[in-house]
Structures are given as C-alpha cells and as structure tokens.
C-alpha cells in the first residue's frame, strides 16, 4: 500500500469560501478553512474610493478578487493544519453559487479590475441573488413563447431573472459599453477554474441549468438572440463558447502562478467547475436514478438522476451530463423553506416563547420544535401554503404568496410553526410526485444542507408526508466534499484517485446511520391533509383564484 492521497474541494458560498482537505481513500476530512469575502455581498455601494457609487434596489454584486483570496488563504491553511505533503494532494475541485457571472476581457481579466470600468456596477460580478433583471427575464420568456422555442419546455416553461441571459441582457440594456468591452461573459465557477488552470473550459452544469444549453441542441439559435436584441445575435460565439465539458472531466493542471497562490504542486489536476447544489449529489452517495437529493437550507434544491429524457412539468430544468456524466440531471426547487421558519421566528412569535427558550437554554427554533413535536399530525387544526417566497416548483410563479387557514382564538405559535414545516413538506411531496409520475422515480430522499441536522421533527414530518425514507449525508460540508471527489476524479486512478464518480462515491461518500421512516398512522392523516393542500395549491396557484397576484401587484404599485 502506497502513501495516502488527498484531494481538496473549494466551496464558494454567498458570504465566504471554504477549502476542505480530505483523504481520498475514506472521504475523511483532515482540515477545513474559511475565508470571508472582504467585500461580501455588495448591495449598497461599490467598494471604490472617491465619490460613492450607489446601487439600485435588488442589486447584488461581488468582487472576483475575493475568490482569488479564497485560494490564497484557505488552501495553504488546510495544508498547514493537516500537515499533508502537497505532493500527496492529487486533485482540486471547486463548486460555486450559480448563476453568478461576470464580464472579462478575452484573457479573463475582470472588467471591474480595469481602472476605466471600476466605477461601473455592470463591470462587477453579478451574484446569483442579483434580482434586478426581471424585465429582461420577462422579455426572454415572452420572446421564446412568441417564437415557439422548444427549449423553454426543458425549464418548466419559464426562466428566471437570476439566470445567465437575464443578467447578460441587463448589461446590454443598461450598459452597452460594458457589453461591448466584454471579450467573455462567463460563470464565476468557470472563471475560477480558468484562473487555476489557465484554460477557459466551461462546465455543462451551469451551461445547462442557467444558460439554456443542452448537449443535443446546444444553445438557442442566433436568430433567437437576434430577436431579443440585434446586438445579442452572436453572443455565444463572440463572448461565450460552444465547447461545453461534462461534469467529471479534468479541466487542466494548476499553473505555476496558482501553485504559488495555494502551495500545491504545479500541474495538480483540477476538475471542470461545478455548482454547490449539484456537486452535493455524489457526496450524498447518490450516483444512480431513484434517489432524490434535497439540499435543504433557506431554500431547497431537489435533484434526481435519470437514464432517459423526460419532460416533468414545473421543474427547474434537466441537463444531460449536468450532475453526473452519462445521466440526465433533473432539478426542482422550493424558493422558501428555512427562510419561512426564520421569518416566523423573527416576526411572529410573542415574547413568552422567547423567554421560555432562553430559560430552557435553547434557541427559539429548538424551543418551538420541541413544543411542536408534542402535537400529533392534524392537531394544530392549521394548513398552510408554503409560498412566502413564491413557488419555484411545480408552479414556477414568484407572485404567489403564503397562506394560513384554520386559525382560531386558541391557535398558538408552536402550532403555526408546525403547520409551516408541514406546508414545506407538502411542497416537497408535490415535487416528488411530479417526478414520480413523469418517469423519474423517487424511492428515497437523501438530505443535506443546514436544516436536516438541526430539526429532527422536520425530518420525520417530511418522511410521513412524502411516504419516503429520509436519509442524511454524513458530511456537514457536502458541497466541499463533492468538489474534492471531483478533484480525485480529475486526477484519475493512476494518480491514486478514481476513474469513475461511482468509485469515488463508494470510497468517499457516506450517510449517517440514523434515518427517518414514514409512520403509517401519521401518513394516513397527512394523506388527507395533502389532499386539502393540493386543492388549495391548484385553486390559488393554477388560476381559479388569482388573489395572491392582485394583492402583490397592488402592494407593489403603492410602494412604487
């Protein structure tokens, strides 16, 4: 047996980046380090000297140099902390939020790093949650519908303001000079891999899920882009690339410069870039169809693998090679989950529960969970629609809103808390059943993210509501572990890594021993409640009563 080999995964989040150094033979984490972006999320004013450059509402930018600093700070730190010899680190993988994109020169230099563009907001990185491109998204959807674009059906009939061409079109609309100056427009995840390897190689995951690409049809036709705006006609060939690399491939080796930044050896294998949610799938042991991965945090992302192409109404999209090579990766989502519980805890819980939680020495979530766990299914007398932040799947409608029915003078906070958990479970069941009834089976659910660790009641309710066994990924750093797995895959078996992601998953990914199985008695009650949820879901979400849209538009009109 030779020396142990290691891989590093680098996970770029919203506020910080993290490196995780793992043993490729076991997936065991030896060290982790975090760098908090010095400029964080830029949503008020650009971090520039002189006269302030203020941003409009809904903007969210980042500084690409913060990403380079993640490499410079965290990789040396994990090497130091673990004592691992850089020669034994065989591969590096990255994952990122998406769509997080930026304009650069043809050589990859970010436009915001050039003095002439530094004071221009459109020259900076647009973070995933930059929400100022809704008019452009509307135009993209309307134009696609008008032209009968077939690709629209892959995305549930509607694309989001967060996606690549919404942001691109906003640059063109509002800053044509930046658009003209941009030799390249690309995802930040591809950009950081380019900075490590010196090669621009774009990944299939973001191309497929965020930029309308598919393996069989490529990008939308130039004529479609021309219909959006004549100046956009050649955007793909001029500023992007038609060469798209499957997830699981090797992007290249570390450049001498990147080796100096990180303390790793030049030539160390680097994987094709990846996305935080999708990279978690093999890290949650899932490399085959039939097992859904749910990344549960403020929102939830659901991913399932399939061997065949299926149209599932209302999901976010599906991409061949987009999660694992050789398979179709299906994605759906709930736009508010942990966010809804946090809203409730922050804005609707009276002081007595704050005091009781403090006296019991637990946080308010834990306290409400303990109180809510005393209730039986159906005992709250409440039913909610989980749309506080709109509905991503299967209704694909940001204008929907939250609903609570059944309140009486006897209703108390733990009952509402439980009803909100149940509502998000019903929302998950709607997604599970959409997949299951359209040729993408879901037999069990493997969870990761912040919520499953924190809330046992939630896990049991999800099992009871969906009728599926729920499992939890063992790693608390699932995305970084996944990135490291792809680093080991990029290195290959000959270098001590792996030739297939299946082999990597078998060695490196594990589940926690505790699982949550459906309780038949609870399932029966929740089947009845789910039937009522579905009736309200369709009544308020599919057209019979559009009151949610009217309320939202009225509010927006008054505030404008």
What residues make contact with its own copies under the rule CB under 8 A? 336, 339-340, 343, 346-351, 354, 376, 378-383, 388-389, 401-409, 411-413, 416, 525, 528, 532, 535-536, 539-540, 545, 547-548, 550-552, 554-555, 558-559
Nearer to its own copies, 177 or 379 (CB): 379
Alpha carbon 15 to chain centroid, angstroms: 14
Nearer to its own copies, 15 or 532 (CB): 532
Compute the least distance from the CB of residue 350 to its own copies, in Å. Answer: 6
Nearer to its own copies, 85 or 528 (CB): 528
Nearer to its own copies, 259 or 373 (CB): 373
Nearer to its own copies, 202 or 365 (CB): 365
Q: Are 452 and 472 in contact (CB under 8 A)?
A: yes
Question: CA–CA separation, 290 vs 303, rounded Å?
Answer: 10
Compute the least distance from the CB of residue 137 to its own copies, in Å. Answer: 19
Mark out the alpha helices in 303-380 (DSSP H runs).
Answer: 338-347, 351-360, 364-372
Compute the least distance from the CB of residue 147 to its own copies, in Å. Answer: 33
Compute the least distance from the CB of residue 36 to its own copies, in Å. Answer: 24
Compute the least distance from the CB of residue 461 to its own copies, in Å. Answer: 16
Nearer to its own copies, 350 or 543 (CB): 350
Compute the least distance from the CB of residue 97 to its own copies, in Å. Answer: 19
Compute the least distance from the CB of residue 365 to its own copies, in Å. Answer: 14
Nearer to its own copies, 1 or 531 (CB): 531
Question: CA–CA separation, 247 vs 279, rounded Å?
Answer: 9
CA separation, residue 268 to residues 7, 65, 138, 260, 306 (Å): 10, 22, 43, 12, 32
Question: CA–CA separation, 292 vs 323, rounded Å?
Answer: 12
Question: CA–CA separation, 406 vs 416, rounded Å?
Answer: 10
Q: Using DSSP, state whether 483 is helix, strand or coil.
A: helix
CA separation, residue 207 to residues 1, 75, 203, 225, 309 (Å): 40, 27, 6, 16, 17
Nearer to its own copies, 287 or 460 (CB): 460
- Enter the tokens of residue 81: 């902390």
Nearer to its own copies, 148 or 350 (CB): 350
Q: How many CA atoms lie within 13 A of 53 on its CB side?
A: 16
Question: CA–CA separation, 451 vs 239, rounded Å?
Answer: 39
CA separation, residue 391 to residues 39, 92, 277, 396, 466 (Å): 31, 36, 18, 6, 18
| Mutual angle of helices 364-372 and 338-347, in 10-degree steps | 100
Nearer to its own copies, 288 or 538 (CB): 538
If one counts every other C-beta atom within 10 angstroms of the C-beta of residue 340, the result is: 24
Compute the least distance from the CB of residue 450 to its own copies, in Å. Answer: 17
Q: Are 206 and 118 in contact (CB under 8 A)?
A: no
Compute the least distance from the CB of residue 135 to its own copies, in Å. Answer: 21
Q: Nearest CA to 516 among 459, 440, 558?
A: 459
């Amino acid at each position: 047996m030779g020396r142990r080999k290691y891989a590093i995964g680098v996970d770029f989040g919203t506020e910080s980046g993290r490196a995780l150094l793992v043993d490729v033979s076991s997936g065991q984490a030896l060290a982790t380090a975090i760098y908090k972006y010095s400029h964080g999320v830029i949503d008020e004013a650009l971090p520039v000297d002189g006269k302030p450059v203020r941003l409009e509402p809904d903007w969210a930018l980042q500084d690409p140099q913060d990403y380079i600093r993640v490499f410079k700070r965290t990789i040396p730190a994990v090497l130091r902390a673990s004592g691992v010899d850089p020669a034994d680190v065989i591969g590096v993988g990255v994952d990122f939020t998406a769509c997080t994109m930026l304009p650069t020169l043809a050589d990859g230099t970010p436009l915001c790093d050039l003095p002439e563009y530094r004071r221009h907001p459109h020259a900076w990185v647009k973070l995933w949650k930059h929400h100022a491109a809704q008019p452009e998204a509307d135009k993209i959807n309307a134009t696609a519908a008008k032209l009968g674009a077939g690709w629209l059906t892959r995305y549930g009939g509607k694309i989001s303001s967060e996606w690549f061409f919404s942001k691109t079109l906003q640059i063109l609309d509002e800053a044509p000079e930046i658009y003209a100056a941009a030799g390249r427009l690309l995802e930040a995840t591809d950009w950081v891999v380019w900075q490590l390897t010196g090669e621009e190689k774009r990944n299939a995951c973001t191309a497929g899920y965020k930029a309308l690409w598919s393996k069989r049809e490529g990008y939308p036709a130039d004529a479609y882009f021309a219909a959006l705006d004549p100046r956009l006609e050649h955007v793909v060939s001029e500023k992007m690339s038609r060469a798209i690399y499957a997830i699981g491939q090797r992007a290249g080796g570390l450049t001498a410069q990147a080796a100096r930044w990180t303390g790793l050896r030049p030539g160390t294998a680097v994987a094709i870039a990846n996305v935080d949610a999708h990279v978690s799938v093999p890290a949650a042991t899932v490399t085959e169809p039939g097992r859904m991965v749910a990344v549960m945090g403020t929102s939830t992302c659901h991913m399932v693998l399939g061997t065949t192409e299926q149209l599932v109404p209302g999901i976010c999209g599906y991409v061949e090679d987009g999660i694992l090579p050789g398979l179709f990766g299906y994605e759906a989502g709930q736009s508010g989950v942990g966010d809804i519980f946090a809203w409730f805890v922050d804005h609707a819980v009276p002081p007595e529960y704050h005091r009781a939680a403090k006296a019991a020495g637990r946080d308010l979530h834990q306290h409400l969970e303990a109180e809510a766990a005393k209730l039986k299914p159906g005992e709250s007398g409440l039913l909610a629609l989980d749309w506080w932040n709109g509905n991503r799947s299967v209704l694909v409608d940001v204008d929907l809103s939250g609903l609570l029915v059944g309140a009486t003078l006897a209703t108390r906070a733990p009952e509402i808390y439980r009803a909100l958990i149940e509502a998000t479970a019903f929302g998950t069941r709607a997604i599970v059943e959409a997949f299951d009834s359209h040729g993408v089976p879901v037999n069990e659910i493997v969870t990761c993210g912040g919520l499953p660790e924190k809330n046992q009641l939630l896990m049991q309710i999800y099992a009871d509501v969906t009728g599926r066994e729920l499992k939890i990924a063992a790693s608390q750093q699932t995305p970084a572990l996944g990135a490291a797995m792809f680093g080991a895959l990029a290195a290959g078996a000959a270098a001590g890594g792996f030739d297939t992601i299946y082999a990597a998953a078998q060695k490196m990914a594990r589940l926690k021993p505790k699982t949550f199985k459906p309780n038949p008695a609870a399932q029966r009650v929740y089947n009845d409640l789910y039937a009522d949820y579905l009736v309200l879901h369709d009544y308020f979400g599919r057209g019979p009563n559009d009151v949610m849209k009217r309320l939202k538009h009225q509010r927006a009109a008054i505030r404008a």
